Amino acid sequence: MAISFLLVIIIVVIYSLQNQETKVTLIFDSTPQLEDLIVKHQREGMVKWLVTAKKAILTDSNNLLLEDLEISFPERDFILFSKGGIYNLVDQSLKIEGQIRALTKNYVIDAVSLSWDPKAGLLSSDKKIVIEGKDFSIEGDEFSASSSKAFLKNNVKAIFR
């Protein structure tokens, strides 16, 4: 059963990387799960992003619970750690809850909730976000970011050293 689950995940990832619509219906007698999941997206031989999870559990036919989650973007020198998240196989969205820490060489981001909407290309949160750099600290109660812009809103506080 674990092999068939792995094949379904691989097929879903391949289709999603080709930007084709994907609908998958899964039926299992017990809860399927994988350990040490790695999903790598490469373009022209370069790793664009890498997702690893200690455990992936199919909670229903649409949702994959990821435990001990790590997401890295090597080109941007960006890595995100979290205890877990839920990946929706149908709309390819990702919701990360719990203690979240993202690291770059210039700053650290701490959050308790993040959501990724692939159709809008938007990373967002309606919970407190704190960004700490060598010479600054900034926080806000609402966050949104696309590939070109980032916004902190509501109760924004900044300290520059």
Does the pLDDT at position 4 exceed 60?
no
Residues 49 and 4 in one domain: yes
Last residue of a domain, one of 76, 97, 118: 97
Same domain, 62 and 131: no
Task: Mark whether 77 and 132 lie in a shared domain.
Answer: no
3-state secondary structure 23-55: CCCCCCCCCCEEEEEEEEEEECCEEEEEEEEEE
Q: Which of 49, 73, 97 is the last residue of a domain?
A: 97
Query: Over the stretch 140-149, which tens digit does the pLDDT of each residue have?
Result: 999 988 878 8
pTM of the complete model: 0.72
Boundaries of domain holding 18 = 1-97
Q: Is residue 72 located within the same domain as residue 11?
A: yes
Question: Can you tell me the mean pLDDT for 29-52?
Answer: 79
pLDDT digits (tens, 9 = 90+) for 103-122: 988 889 999 999 888 788 88
Is the pLDDT confidence value at 77 over 60? yes
Weakest mean pLDDT among 4-8, 27-31, 126-130: 4-8
- Number of separate domains in the chain: 2
Domain boundary among 73, 97, 121: 97
Whether 95 and 115 have beta carbons less than 8 Å apart is answered as yes
Residue 7 has pLDDT above 60, yes or no: no
84 and 146 belong to one structural domain:
no
In the predicted structure, residue 30 carries a pLDDT above the cut 60: yes
131 and 86, same domain (yes or no): no
Give the span between the Cα atoms of 79 and 10, in whole angstroms: 23
**What was the pLDDT predicted at 40?**
80
The Cα–Cα gap between 26 and 46 comes to 32
Both 72 and 12 in a single domain? yes
